[in-house]
Every structure is written in structure tokens, then in C-alpha cells.
Amino acid sequence: MEKLLEILKGIRPDVDFENEKALIDDGVLDSFDVVSIISELNDEYDIQVKVTELEPENFNSVEAIMQMVKRLKGV
């Protein structure tokens, strides 16, 4: 989880990822942010985030993003 927070803060240092639970729904992250996050996740975790994963609920919180990463890694 720490590495994920590091990645997210590197992309958007102004966002409180630990407490925000509606990153997409509240418009905190835009499409460019999501593309940047996906690119970093693919590189860091050696996964492929597919178009079918591009659902708001997968990116609304750090916990949701981590769940998606774990699911894609088969953990």
C-alpha cells in the first residue's frame, strides 16, 4: 500500500489519498490523472490494466485501486 501511495502522490501531490473516498465521483482525478496512474501501475506491479477495468469504482480510493491491482496480479 505504501508504494501505491507513493505513486499516487507522485502524480497528484495535492490530493489526500489516505482520506479521499470519491476520487472519480467528486472530480478529484481527471482522465489524464487516471491514464498516468494506469501507466505507473502497469510498470510498478507488472500488470495490464485493461479497458474493462476503467470503472469509477476501481479508482475512487486508494483501497479500491489496491484491490484492483491485487485482482489483476491474482493475489
CATH number, residue 30: 1.10.1200.10
3-state secondary structure 3-19: HHHHHHHHHCCCCCCCC
Domain that holds residue 52: 2-73
* Contact partners, residue 45, CB within 8 Å, separation at least 6: 69, 72, 73
> Could you give the number of structural domains in the chain?
1
The answer to whether 73 and 45 have CB atoms below 8 angstroms apart is yes
Kindly list the averaged pLDDT for each block of 10 residues, start to end, along the chain of length 75: 96 97 97 97 96 96 98 91
Cα 3 to chain centroid distance, Å, stands at 11
**What does pTM read for this prediction?**
0.93
